[in-house]
Structure 1
Amino acid sequence: MKELLTAVREGRKQAVPELVAGLDRAGRKAALAELKSMRKEARGWDWQQRAAVQNTLLVAGAGCHTGAAACAAWIGGRDLRDWSSTPYPLVLKVLADRDPAWLGDLAHRLAARPSMASTDADYRFVAELVRIAQCPMPVTDTIVEAWLSYVGSSRWHGNERNPLIEILRADPHLTAMVPRLFEGSEPPSALYWYDDPDSGDHWPAALATLAAEGVLDRAVLVDGAVKRLLRGGKPGSLRFYLAVVRELGLTEEEENARVPDWSGMAGDGIPIVAGHAQEVLSRLDARGELTTRVLAEVSGSVLFRTEKKLVRTQLILIGKALRRDASTADELLPVVAEAFGHEDMDVQERALKLTARHLRAAGEAVREDLAVAAAQLGPMHRAAAHEVFGDLLDEGPAEEPYEETLPPVPAARLLGPAPGTVAELVEEVAALVNSGSREVGSFERALDGLIRHARTDRAALTEALREAMAGQWWLDDLREEQVDRWFTRNPGGLDLVAASLLGRISFRSVHDGRNRWTAAGTCPHAALDGVMYARLWEAAAFAATGQVPFLLATPTWHTGSLDADELVERLRAYRRLGVRPGPADFAQALLRVRRTDSLRAAADAALLGTAEGDRLASWLRADTPVAPVLRHGSDSHRPTPGTWWQRSATGTRRVLLATKERLDIQQEFPRAFHWLGRPHYPDQSPCYHWAAARSEHWLAALPEDGEALAAWLIPTLMHGADDGPDGGAWVLPGLAEAGGPAADAIHLALAYGLGARHPEDRLSAVDTLLVLAAQGRLDPGLLGRELAILVDHDLVKPNRLADSARTAAATGAYRTVLTVLTAALPSLLAYEKAPHGLGDILAVAAACAERCGPVAPEPIAGLAATAGRRGSSQLVRQAARLLAASGPGYGGEPVDGDSQKVLIGARSTRNPSVTMRS
């Protein structure tokens, strides 16, 4: 046993199997106890020392375990695994004396562990255990991933690549693994490596070929792929399953047997899946396999979809069924009427045409119901609807005056006091540290609680913290310099203060940390982080010494704001106790204090007779923004001539904001805050934080200066509207709740968010738009002009803006949306060649105008000219629609030309001999 332990410490893994074989059961048990101690000890070593012995520990421990469950836990331990070269051959040697049934049990237990690395080495190891044990191959998500890695690595033999189908054909576990590909929430990532159908490594094509050869069960593939498409998911995930279905080329019998599946996909599937399902349903209908009832049911779902192509295709399918059998009109036309309320004008028109063409075949009761449904049609189609339904069309009761629907104004929430007992405090601190959460309210309460109880009940606090923090790495038997080094690089959060309170950080490290974070010459994200880190280091010092009774900067409200009267009371308590505030704590308190309506608090602060009271009084009376924002000046000479690349080449493809200098912040605040007071010019180059990084503490650092925060964070939003990742618009709802005015910076940030690349970011921007409108802080004209500028600079795409506007309008904020778009449209309509997607914006504006009426005192410049153009494009038709919805006094007289063509060749139901024409 001594030789074995020496070999392990020296990292001589090749010697381990022979040394383990020389131990009896008792010897292995004794050795295992020593190996466990060594493993625990190694966790405190640096990575080089640990790497030298972890493989040897893995082999020795596997050989000394006598139970399969414990052995699997040892082999699967993350701290013993070397991701580059796990020594599985040596593990097999050290387990050579085990019973086959024991090895089979081990294989299945390993396959069930999520900690397995899912590499080809893992698969080879488990497969070899299965071969020796002669047991079934365990099939888990982990093993399937490992099997796919194994297949991928097997493609190469020297410099030659083996075809995927040959590898699969020779695999002994193929039939067990393939069905599992269709059971997970997402297909394994390895299936995306080669998705070119003409490639020899195309998985769907290989599976279809093997099914044709009889190697795989075709029914399993068909059922698995179809059910997975029906279950839904992300477009990227479903692409593989759809490719399998297409490669298999389902027979008529296979398609006929799955009518409910195709119906479900057409109604609820993602667009590409729904489109394929529609193709199948069309074939079923042509073969007479689709009943009228099923067609009506699936059409009712599809016609509610927003994708115009799917809706048009479904109307065509219904039209074919009606032409083939007129007796189906009573069942199908009521479904067509569902499209009368569709948001797209063209869909309404197609539905009305189809209804007019087949209305004669419908019964009287159905015609009356259709006439009632026609009331949903927009004003552009009212005249045509009268031609179709005549006296049956009921104009209905007079419309009530329009009322705008906006969300309730978010109410500021008071933060509760710090936990009153040590037990409550420690429970909250442990939860925040273990979860890594920095939610502002909980974080600030817990931080203040640590300072309070460190002064009044230190012994009980340290005892409870030591027990609650058990398992934290910095409480292990590490050298003090290792803990210092780690927290110097990454101060973290409350764990820094707790570690200082428990004496795990040196006094020198805390002293140096208070002066380290200057954040000079960095991005705003690092500067705001620097403010937080300066506070944490200062709090770590206070926790160790009990110098202050509580923190000054603890917010009053959930946004991070601090009431001026409350700060005055805290300073008065400090004066009474003879305590000097911490510089970082007091600086943060000044940045958080509410400056509006605070003259009385300023007078009370001046009466304190302390330096801090005088600074607070001066700060409140000045009521000056931390960083005044400068206008970008990009709103002249629009629209910009030339193509996108000509504009971007001249440097105009950027609209950002600069902030002015604030000398008193640089002269009177700690160094960590100086960045905030320096002048900053916009930089469009992304920093390392821009990839959707977020921290609520950035907002809580300047809760009364939303404009400055918006100006500094706009580059992230700009990239989110272009080619950046999702998540950049998380800051917008917080800016809507921030104090101070909502001026140029917040409106420009909102404009970028409304044109964001990712739908989730656009939803955040829509929420912000509605909240600002509800607060009365939205300037629709300013926002509309900013949107036009961003479109001109090719920073926001009109179709994305239309999507955001449509979403906001759907909540009932039609007048708000129309006012914003009305301000943007004159510039957008001034182009010689309209931007792609402008028709979508006009469609949203027209829908809003039909609901709430015009909002501008004068006609929109360029609208009548656009509506009067030749042709019947979406742009012209929607411009005419908006003009008509604006009313006669607004220039909305009927427009001659193709834009008024609604029905062609449809027959009137009141007099079948009369043919309606445009």
Structure 2
Amino acid sequence: MGDEMENGVEKLLAAVRAGESGEVPALLEPLDAAAREAALVRLKALRAEVRAGKWATPPDAPDRVRGALYVAGAGCLPTAAAAASWLGARDLQIRAEDKPLALAALGDRDPEWAADLAGRLAGRRAVAEHSYALLHGLIVRSGYAVPPTDGYVTGWTWHITDDRLVERLREDPQTPVLVAHALGMAEAPEPLTRPVGRRPARHWPSALLVLVEEGVLDRARILDVCVSRLLRGGPVRNLRLPLEMVRLLVPDAEELRERIPDWVGIAADAPSPVAGYAQDVLVELASAGTLPVGALAEMTSGVLFRTEKKLVRAQLALVGKVLAREPGAAGELLPAVTEAFGNEDTEVQERALTLVGKHLPAVDAGVRRELAEAAGLLGPTHRRAAEELFGADLAREAVLPYQEILPPVPEEQRVAPPATTVEELVAELVVKGLSEEPVAFERALDGLVRHAHRDRAAVAEAVREAFPSAGWEQQTHYFTHEAHGIDVVLAGVLGLLNPALVDFHRTKGPGADCCLHQALSGVLDARLWEAAGLVGTGALPFLLATPTRHTGAIDPLVLVERLREYREAGAEPAPSDLAQALLRVARADPSTGRAAEEAAALGTPAGGRLTAWLRPETAADGAVPGAGPVGAAVRFLRRDEDLASRRFWPSDRIVVDLGERPAVRAEFPPAFQWLGGALGATPRRCHHWVESRAQWATVLPADRELFAACLLPTLAASVEGDSRGATEPLTALAEADGPVGRAVLLALAFGLGCVDADDRLRAVDAVLVLAARGELDAGGLGTELGRLVAEGSVKPNRLADAARTAATTGAYGTVWAVLAAMLPELLAPAAPVRGLGEVLAVAADCVERCGAGGEVAGLGALAAGRGSSQLMVQARRLLGALRQGAGQDSTKGSISL
């Protein structure tokens, strides 16, 4: 390489170091292939320096240098594959203004090369979304077809959306291909989903309708794409755009008939609002006599399998009208109607049975037998009517003793040892260490501490390679407020933390008015900051608090052995690490007595603390043996007490009294002292974002009641707003150790009444696991539910949904035990709670299935009243089932699957 070329390379490198991206294309132009290859070697070395934090000042230097590297690398890399790797790297995705410069730096590459690079970048969504100008330039330069990928299309929609949207779409030759792709995407680009709002000119559906009317877009193709997208399904938010487009297009009768199979599939499987539209379309076709009977039968089977009462009842009404007009269709339609025999709503079952009975004479013997066989799906309420209708054709089933079916008791899972090599550790950190899965998090954290103790330099180098774009070198202020997972410890390995900052967070305790979930998160943060300050030193050879069980608990003898290793190494346990280890030790384990003796024999202060912890009867504060060193009680403020809120939601009235434990307050670090009663007994409603839910369970795996008490304010708030995920810790709560008291029961009760269906499902699972373990106080849970429903805190329809879900797993007896304790509270008032009919329907189904008998206070008076509302009908049904059960001598048992 000549002096001139070498001088050119130096100028290029100087511009990159100065962050002058705009100068790079011109400096690249005179360089030949050899010079560019030499420059590339030095550019890679400079990139490694930026990664290592050697360009931290001035504050914008790293971003400017990265931008210049982005442009220079584009011009020096010889192959499209290498260029795509460089331009798609996470640590170089910095400034949008550098993307057009990269296009200029690529120079006059041949069309095939440009198309190859465009295709590679377009296939990486995160890159393509933010590199539209670069990709479009490459496509224009190559002359090849547009790559309709999700990333490219999303970038295009952001680029083209402005007040001239219709004109820009009309002028852009890409529009037909990219619009079709956008409408068919699993999740449409955000600009397409915006409502009309104050800028109607930017409303995509309206703009697309104009282009369809002008012929710029093919109407049939747009309609096909939208209907196909509806057919694929997904969350309703992702289907609003294609549904809106179909409605705007107003398909005519012929266009609707051409797509009958699609409408049938949508009616069966799509979310309720979309299925309702498809059902309306098919009803219109059926009313016009243009819907084939076979398609109607297929539609009926699909719709009647759904749970939405409005759709199911509308479908039964449609079939009734068609059969009134075409009696000969009964043989094909009535078997589809029997899908409703298995519906959870007994009224729907009754309507379906009535419809079948009305048209039964029109079918032959074979269809009659098929209908009679399907009648076996009917609940006990309609069994007699089915027998009268089908007579000898109805199969007589042997009556077997009822057996309760409960889920299997979760087996204890042992936590695997930490990673044995640095490579394995780093892979684990990348995959699991930054996740919310508690045990994987703890295992990765312990492995990081162990390996950093042995070879901090090797771990630091591996961390830099694995997390090149973390940006910790330039953003140490990121750690000034709280820990963000294991990353604060990684920053500690790299030596990036201010010691004063570490000490502040390590010794920080919750304020007197701190909410309980903040206090739980404070324990997690204190441990992480403590580990971050000690990692890689002789003071922290490994973590004492790493769980040995999947619940987060530690075997007592294992903790004794860890303390013995600390003693032999001459190391003092870190305060927060030891405190967390004590909270996690399984005090109910059979080895507790032996562990206490061995801990005392260690002759160390930590061993003495473990002994006192395992033998609470010896503690100075006089804790009750077996109750655990910490505790809590839960109560509700009365409505006439002085409250901060006038709405009187349960989250405004819940008070958690943390038991006074002087030893805890004296011996534990500040972040843990609230467990000894440092927080005042006041309502602790929190109004901010809730984080670290998954990690909370491992803070108190041996004190289930206290853990439940800490969850109550958040769980109580979940029944009144639109929060999601509040019940995530309930799975761990059900598997934890410790007694089941009022806090646990209230946690389950609020979980069963959550707004979100997934939250309720997790609460159902927790209830069934406790029942399988023999730890569920069904009567106590029912009593708490009765109070919450009576005061309006838990909505009956949500509770009915949760109870029905639990019952249909086969736990009819368990659910009835809960409802039997709940109903007297709700039947006592002169005006029963609105929506109680749904709860009574579930209760009646449970009693009919499990054969329970007995009396429920207030039920007889309600059932004796007049009326045909669901409440009255279900009250009479429940009363009849209880009386029938009382007259039976049924053998009952339980099965744990």
Please state if 1:281 is matched with 2:282.
yes
Question: Shift of the alpha carbon at 1:761?
Answer: 1.2
Distance in 1 of aligned mates of 2:649 and 2:297: 55
Question: Shift of the alpha carbon at 1:546?
Answer: 3.9
Equivalent position amino acid for 2:679 in 1: P
Q: In terms of mean alpha carbon deviation, does 380-389 or 660-669 score higher?
A: 380-389
> 3-state SS of the aligned residue for 2:354?
helix
Question: Shift of the alpha carbon at 1:369?
Answer: 4.5
Among 547, 556, 559, the alignment partner of 2:551 is 559
Aligned to 1:409: 409
Equivalent position amino acid for 1:591 in 2: L
Question: Shift of the alpha carbon at 1:759?
Answer: 1.7
Please state if 1:136 is matched with 2:145.
yes
Aligned to 1:898: none
Aligned to 1:116: 127
Please state if 1:306 is matched with 2:303.
no
Aligned to 2:856: 859
Question: Shift of the alpha carbon at 1:808?
Answer: 0.5
Aligned to 1:518: 509
**Structure 1 residues 543 and 31, CA gap change in structure 2 (3 angstroms):** closer
Equivalent position amino acid for 2:279 in 1: Q
Distance in 2 of aligned mates of 1:646 and 1:618: 41
Please state if 1:633 is matched with 2:636.
yes
Quick check: 2:651–2:685 contact (8 Å CA) kept in 1? no
Among 567, 578, 583, the alignment partner of 1:591 is 583
Quick check: 1:654–1:793 contact (8 Å CA) kept in 2? no
Please state if 1:178 is matched with 2:179.
yes
Quick check: 1:561–1:593 contact (8 Å CA) kept in 2? yes
Aligned to 1:800: 798
Alignment gaps of 5+ in structure 2: 1-7, 617-624, 889-897
Distance in 1 of aligned mates of 2:435 and 2:485: 9
**Structure 1 residues 293 and 106, CA gap change in structure 2 (3 angstroms):** closer
Q: In terms of mean alpha carbon deviation, does 766-775 or 525-534 score higher?
A: 525-534
Aligned to 2:97: 86
> 3-state SS of the aligned residue for 2:129?
coil
Aligned ranges 1:92-241 → 2 under 5 Å: 93-94=104-105, 103-116=114-127, 118=129, 122-152=131-161, 154-155=162-163, 162=164, 164-194=165-195, 199=200, 201-241=202-242
Question: Shift of the alpha carbon at 1:235?
Answer: 0.9
> 3-state SS of the aligned residue for 1:404?
strand
Aligned to 1:662: 661
Quick check: 1:336–1:351 contact (8 Å CA) kept in 2? yes
Question: Shift of the alpha carbon at 1:26?
Answer: 4.3
> 3-state SS of the aligned residue for 1:659?
strand
Q: In terms of mean alpha carbon deviation, does 669-678 or 773-782 score higher?
A: 669-678
Distance in 2 of aligned mates of 1:844 and 1:751: 17
Quick check: 1:754–1:804 contact (8 Å CA) kept in 2? yes
Q: In terms of mean alpha carbon deviation, does 300-309 or 504-513 score higher?
A: 504-513
> 3-state SS of the aligned residue for 1:631?
strand
Aligned to 1:849: 847
Quick check: 1:181–1:187 contact (8 Å CA) kept in 2? yes
Please state if 1:50 is matched with 2:62.
yes
Equivalent position amino acid for 1:659 in 2: D
Please state if 1:323 is matched with 2:324.
yes
Quick check: 1:265–1:277 contact (8 Å CA) kept in 2? yes
**Structure 1 residues 473 and 566, CA gap change in structure 2 (3 angstroms):** closer
> 3-state SS of the aligned residue for 1:742?
coil
Question: Shift of the alpha carbon at 1:32?
Answer: 4.0
Aligned ranges 1:445-594 → 2 under 5 Å: 445=443, 458=454, 465=459, 468-469=462-463, 471-472=465-466, 504=495, 512=503, 515-521=506-512, 522-536=514-528, 544-546=536-538, 551-568=543-560, 570-571=562-563, 580-594=572-586
Aligned to 1:785: 783
Q: Deviations over 1:425-457 (max 9, x none)?
A: 7524641355424644455556556667778xx
Question: Shift of the alpha carbon at 1:807?
Answer: 0.7
Quick check: 2:122–2:149 contact (8 Å CA) kept in 1? yes
**Structure 1 residues 850 and 715, CA gap change in structure 2 (3 angstroms):** same
Equivalent position amino acid for 2:150 in 1: D
Aligned ranges 1:869-880 → 2 under 5 Å: 869-880=865-876
Please state if 1:752 is matched with 2:750.
yes
Please state if 1:38 is matched with 2:38.
no
> 3-state SS of the aligned residue for 2:332?
helix
Equivalent position amino acid for 2:154 in 1: E
> 3-state SS of the aligned residue for 2:238?
helix
Aligned to 1:820: 818
Distance in 1 of aligned mates of 2:885 and 2:119: 79
Please state if 1:617 is matched with 2:611.
yes
Aligned ranges 1:709-748 → 2 under 5 Å: 709-748=707-746
Distance in 2 of aligned mates of 1:489 and 1:653: 27
Aligned to 2:17: 9
Question: Shift of the alpha carbon at 1:683?
Answer: 4.1
Q: Deviations over 1:860-884 (max 9, x none)?
A: 32x3343344432222222222222
> 3-state SS of the aligned residue for 1:756?
coil
Question: Shift of the alpha carbon at 1:321?
Answer: 2.7
Quick check: 2:613–2:629 contact (8 Å CA) kept in 1? no
> 3-state SS of the aligned residue for 2:344?
coil
**Structure 1 residues 733 and 682, CA gap change in structure 2 (3 angstroms):** farther
Distance in 2 of aligned mates of 1:38 and 1:259: 62
Distance in 1 of aligned mates of 2:206 and 2:487: 53
Please state if 1:681 is matched with 2:691.
no
Q: In terms of mean alpha carbon deviation, does 526-535 or 195-204 score higher?
A: 195-204
> 3-state SS of the aligned residue for 2:127?
coil
Q: State the identity %.
A: 46
Q: In terms of mean alpha carbon deviation, does 123-132 or 509-518 score higher?
A: 509-518
> 3-state SS of the aligned residue for 2:60?
helix
Question: Shift of the alpha carbon at 1:408?
Answer: 1.6
Q: In terms of mean alpha carbon deviation, does 60-69 or 735-744 score higher?
A: 60-69
Q: Deviations over 1:287-313 (max 9, x none)?
A: 444333333333223222212222222
**Structure 1 residues 599 and 94, CA gap change in structure 2 (3 angstroms):** closer
Q: Deviations over 1:344-365 (max 9, x none)?
A: 1111121122122212222344
Distance in 1 of aligned mates of 2:777 and 2:215: 68
Quick check: 1:657–1:711 contact (8 Å CA) kept in 2? no
> 3-state SS of the aligned residue for 1:405?
strand
Q: In terms of mean alpha carbon deviation, does 527-536 or 482-491 score higher?
A: 482-491
Aligned to 1:908: none
Equivalent position amino acid for 2:49 in 1: E
Q: In terms of mean alpha carbon deviation, does 745-754 or 440-449 score higher?
A: 440-449
Q: Deviations over 1:490-520 (max 9, x none)?
A: 66666766776x7846895798479434345
> 3-state SS of the aligned residue for 1:881?
helix
Q: Deviations over 1:686-724 (max 9, x none)?
A: 26451x54233x222211111111111222222332324
**Structure 1 residues 30 and 463, CA gap change in structure 2 (3 angstroms):** closer
Question: Shift of the alpha carbon at 1:620?
Answer: 2.7
**Structure 1 residues 477 and 140, CA gap change in structure 2 (3 angstroms):** closer
Root-mean-square deviation (CA), in Å? 3.9
Alignment gaps of 5+ in structure 1: 156-161, 893-918
Quick check: 1:773–1:816 contact (8 Å CA) kept in 2? yes
Q: Deviations over 1:60-79 (max 9, x none)?
A: 44444555554454444444
**Structure 1 residues 241 and 836, CA gap change in structure 2 (3 angstroms):** farther
Quick check: 1:818–1:848 contact (8 Å CA) kept in 2? yes
**Structure 1 residues 362 and 648, CA gap change in structure 2 (3 angstroms):** farther
Distance in 2 of aligned mates of 1:890 and 1:566: 53
Please state if 1:884 is matched with 2:895.
no
Distance in 2 of aligned mates of 1:263 and 1:845: 35
Question: Shift of the alpha carbon at 1:367?
Answer: 3.5
Distance in 2 of aligned mates of 1:650 and 1:438: 34
> 3-state SS of the aligned residue for 1:250?
coil
Aligned to 2:400: 400
Distance in 2 of aligned mates of 1:16 and 1:579: 55
After TM superposition, the score normalised by the length of structure 2 is 0.85
**Structure 1 residues 221 and 499, CA gap change in structure 2 (3 angstroms):** closer
Distance in 1 of aligned mates of 2:560 and 2:231: 62
